[in-house]
Chains A and B, each alone.
Chain A
């Protein structure tokens, strides 16, 4: 038998596979994030919206993380899309940098911890930071608006609003709920991976 060799390990073609996966899961992530953050339209539940995003998107993210070969590049581009979207929506370069950093961190975590549960779980939590950060502008811009309204209406009303927005607590709560959502989502996702995807052969 002449020259037996292994096939299919060429790097440029796995790159295309990875890039296509980034595109697909980015589309899925946006749709799911949008749907699950809808509960945030009820102002009282705004704090929970990032939690619900993190929870719902855990399952596809777990699959995504387990499929990509080049972890750092894929996560970077994935988060880069959201950062740029935020930037275009006027949130400023801060959001873009945060997203890129989150992407980098998630990719590194994934590479370092591998594709076992620990790696997927941690990368998922890191990614929830990004969706939580999406809520940031609501806070920072509100404060600027408050400055402006202070000149226009009475102090009592503004003080009430300020109660809501001025203190850092709601912001902390948002991040905390985001992380909580990612943790709970992570456990659910692990069960789903074991129950389904590993048995089908989509994930290893």
Chain B
């Protein structure tokens, strides 16, 4: 069930906007889509976990909100509310990120005539996330061997030093890699002015249309019912 990255983008935008501004009914309608799509991608465990947490927070919220028991509980309840709000967004984003490969995404962007000046940094960014983690982990190891720990006397005396220890080697290393990367790209002809072709294929198929129409329907329902609801209330 492959969707074109542009459809996924559209799904994400519509779904997240609806989730954030409409009653929960619509949230459920919207996040059902990525849930179903994730099942197609065989991510049963995630979907199961997600639904459990979501149901727990929703039920918890419904049950606890009627109790009027002081500020602490109110804070807790408001946390639950925020969580139940944010969770649908999580599943939408998880689906989009997990099912899209970087080169497909960039190919879709090229189709949308996004300029090279934007796609190049985007590609570099995607490629750099794992590198940042690898470097940070190596630096963490080095710190551990030196005995620099988060809660030792030395770091508590000067709390910003831990920032320095963590960031300075990381930045030096990352800068060096960045320079070498630029050179490797430029000697292979990368230039923002020349037009690039893309090997990955993207294109709209039946499933894109289905998802697209579904999203539109939900939005139309929301707007329509909202309008008529207002009219009725008057």
Contacts and interface: CB of A to CB of B under 8 A. Distances in A.
Contacts, number: 147
Interface in A123-152: 137-138, 141, 144-145, 148-149
A1 interface: no
B120 interface: yes
B6 interface: no
A26 B74 CA distance: 37
Nearest to A80: B118
Nearest to B69: A157
Interface of B is mostly: helix
Interface stretch (B14-22, B35-43, B197-205, B217-225): B14-22
Interface in B1-57: 9, 12-13, 15-21, 23
A168 interface: no
A154 B129 CA distance: 47
Contacts of B117: 15, 19, 73, 77
A124 to B, nearest CB: 15
B211 interface: no
Contacts of A91: 16, 20
A188 interface: yes
A141 B85 contact: yes
A29 B163 CA distance: 14
Given A23-B124, A153-B65, A164 B178 contact: no
Contact of B186 (A13, A31, A44): A13
B93 A89 contact: yes
B156 interface: no
Nearest to A73: B117
Contacts of A110: none
Interface in B90-133: 93, 117-118, 120-129, 132-133
A30 to B, nearest CB: 8
A197 B169 CA distance: 10
Contacts of B23: 148
B181 interface: yes
B82 interface: yes
A81 interface: yes
A135 to B, nearest CB: 12
Interface stretch (B137-145, B147-155, B188-196): B188-196
Interface residues of B, number: 59
Interface of A is mostly: helix
A161 B192 CA distance: 51
B192 A16 contact: yes
Contacts of B160: 188
Contact of A160 (B9, B71, B126, B174): B71
B175 A19 contact: no
Contact of A26 (B82, B125, B179, B193): B125
A167 interface: no
Contact of A19 (B13, B66, B121, B127): B121
A21 B120 CA distance: 10
A13 B164 CA distance: 32
Given A16-B192, A157-B68, A27 B74 contact: no
A22 interface: yes
A27 B181 CA distance: 15
Interface string B170-184: 111011011101100
B215 interface: no
Nearest to A85: B93
Among B9, B17, B75, B175, residue most surrounded by chain A Cβ atoms (within 10 Å): B175
Interface of A: 12-13, 15-17, 19-24, 26-28, 30-31, 43-44, 56, 59-60, 63, 67, 73, 77-78, 80-81, 87-92, 137-138, 141, 144-145, 148-149, 153-154, 156-157, 160-161, 164, 188, 192, 196-197, 200, 202
10 contacts: A16-B192, A28-B171, A44-B75, A60-B167, A91-B16, A153-B65, A153-B66, A154-B66, A157-B65, A197-B168
Sort A-B residue pairs by CB-CB distance and give the 3 closest, nearest first.
A90-B16, A23-B124, A23-B121
